[in-house]
Amino acid sequence: MRVAIVCGVVLLACGHHETASVPVSVNVTCGEQTRSLAVTGDLRIDEHLCGQPWTALRIEHGKRTELVKAVAGREVWLRRVDRRAVIEVRAGSAITSSFDGVTELAEDTPPAPAASLEIDANGAITNLALADLRARSEGSGSASRDVSLCALAASYVAKPRTIEVTGEAAQPVIVTPDECKTRGLVLRVSSQGELRLRTATGGHLLQQVHRIRLSL
């Protein structure tokens, strides 16, 4: 009997050693770079994961994907349990959620800010989303995708002294309201999501408009 107990203890110890010796790892994706992270014990997931504080983590486990956002006072821990990697979300000493069989961690990149046009109306700054500008052209009832620069300027400043349009060129395009009307200057959102400045006859003035400044 005593021999049997000793053998059982030896077998249990051998089994534990075998489990501990099996490597456990998860893939960590930061931007376009992916690396393998060995899971040997408890590891708090902090700004060292991708070299900067993260705002959200995407966690792959099995066939499921979880998104955990960074919240003050909440911590995310990566642990090894037997031959599996486990994520625990903790608030103080409490475990609020856990995910078993984790295979990948990724910093969830926030969406890029919507493309917009900065309009400086004599010192009052407004950012007009290009999607709103496109909607304005589509809702005008015209088949054209153009938005009148003159009309847009007048909607912010009734009678500006000058209209200054800054883009990729070294020098901005500066016109008076009368010159704007004479040349029929228009703005168009391209299929690439860039804002162009054109004349009524289709002449190209700026390929990438960034800012419009209206002076009194």
Q: Give the whole-angstrom CA distance, residue 98 versus residue 102.
A: 10
Residue 200 parent element (H or E): none
Q: Give the whole-angstrom CA distance, residue 21 versus residue 192.
A: 53
190-195-199-203 Cα dihedral, nearest 10 degrees = -60
For the chain, list the strands marked E by DSSP: 25-30, 33-38, 43-44, 56-61, 64-69, 74-81, 84-91, 94-100, 102-107, 116-121, 124-129, 146-148, 162-166, 173-175, 186-189, 195-198, 204-206, 211-215
pLDDT score, position 120: 95
pLDDT score, position 199: 93
pLDDT score, position 12: 46
pLDDT score, position 207: 92
What residue type is 103 in one-letter code?
T
- Tell me 161's DSSP state: S
pLDDT score, position 193: 81
| CA nearest to 89, candidates 100, 102, 76 | 76
Q: Give the whole-angstrom CA distance, residue 58 versus residue 102.
A: 11
For each of the chain's 216 residues, which pLDDT tens digit applies?
554 444 444 444 455 455 567 899 999 998 888 999 999 999 999 988 888 888 899 999 988 999 999 988 999 999 999 999 999 999 998 999 999 999 999 988 766 667 889 999 989 999 998 888 877 765 555 446 788 999 999 999 999 999 999 999 989 999 999 999 999 999 988 877 889 999 988 899 999 999 999 999
pLDDT score, position 14: 52
